[in-house]
Structure 1
């Protein structure tokens, strides 16, 4: 059985030293290191670590958020490792996924995280509905109609006036997306 470490920081300017020391102190034989955002699914060192692991090995990570940013991603990695007979240990949270109590704790943390995300989504939807009911505008403030009309006139006459779309945007302050949306709506 080999203890394989995975250390990750989000930016090049951050240091992996602390994580490496913790992983070495735990007894990791090999450590895969990465300086890349956890939000990206294409993390080369993580994929290499997973490929390197063999049945009976354990993947050791200092904290859950070093391995994954979402509950779904976390469950995917944990399931993939479990299917291959590979253990998963999070040092800070003291969770050893290869034990029954570790699996329970992992599942509870995942469920709590998902519940929290659902509550946030529910409150956000309630707030949006309340604002709509009160007639409040959601999103960016609208452009003044005279600016939009001027931009559309200039856009329609761009062959004769020699103005590019960028020129029109700079002159009127109306975003190109608004101009395109209004032009396409008129078709």
Structure 2
């Protein structure tokens, strides 16, 4: 049963010193530390030291983090991490917020965070649906912006001349910037 620390700052210019001192005062056995922005990375997979810490943790261990935002980017993200830890029998402590997910008040906090995460997800879905409806009502095109018609026509011309130019659809797509799916779809429309 080990106490494992995790410290993170978002930019190379920031210092880990305050977090490391707090983790050491807490009595952690080992500390994983890194300088990565959670926002600019695509989820936890881009935080190598966090991944190492998560792999290192065993049943009965506790991950100790200085502040919630050093571990999770949202309540939804935090809820997933805590649920995974509960399934694996791993504890989680946040020093600054004084939250320990292994005791009853921590479990209550987890339940509250779960409700907030679900509420947050529902709000995002509602806002997205509302925005989509408003855009449709205005006649705004949804999805990615289509390629310029002249690029599509150039791609179709190159496609028709494939026997002479020896280009593959992939090569035509790269040359014109028109996606393969658009080339195929527009070619099908012109054929009939």
Equivalent residue for 1:88?
A: 92
Distance 1:72 1:120, change over 3 A: closer
Alignment TM-score, normalising by the size of structure 2: 0.71
After superposition, where does 1:1-187 map in structure 2 within 5 Å?
Answer: 2-9=2-9, 15-34=15-34, 39-41=43-45, 43-51=50-58, 55=60, 57-69=61-73, 71=75, 74-83=78-87, 85-161=89-165, 166=171, 170=175, 173-177=176-180, 178-183=182-187
Q: Secondary structure at the match of 2:64?
A: strand
Distance 1:63 1:162, change over 3 A: same
- The alignment of Structure 1 onto Structure 2 pairs a total of residues equal to 182
Shift of 1:74: 3.5
Name the stretch that deviates more: 138-147 or 102-111: 138-147
Structure 1: unaligned runs, 5 residues or longer: none
In 2, distance between residues paired with 1:168 and 1:77? Answer: 41
Answer yes or no: is the 8 Å Cα contact 2:12–2:35 preserved in 1.
yes
In 2, distance between residues paired with 1:147 and 1:48? Answer: 48
Superposition CA RMSD, Å: 3.4
Shift of 1:100: 1.1
Answer yes or no: is the 8 Å Cα contact 2:155–2:178 preserved in 1.
no
In 2, distance between residues paired with 1:44 and 1:15? Answer: 21
Answer yes or no: is the 8 Å Cα contact 2:23–2:64 preserved in 1.
yes
In 2, distance between residues paired with 1:168 and 1:105? Answer: 52
Distance 1:58 1:150, change over 3 A: closer
Deviations 1:8-57 (A, max 9, x none): 35677765333212211222232133456651347532234313xx53x4
Structure 2: unaligned runs, 5 residues or longer: none
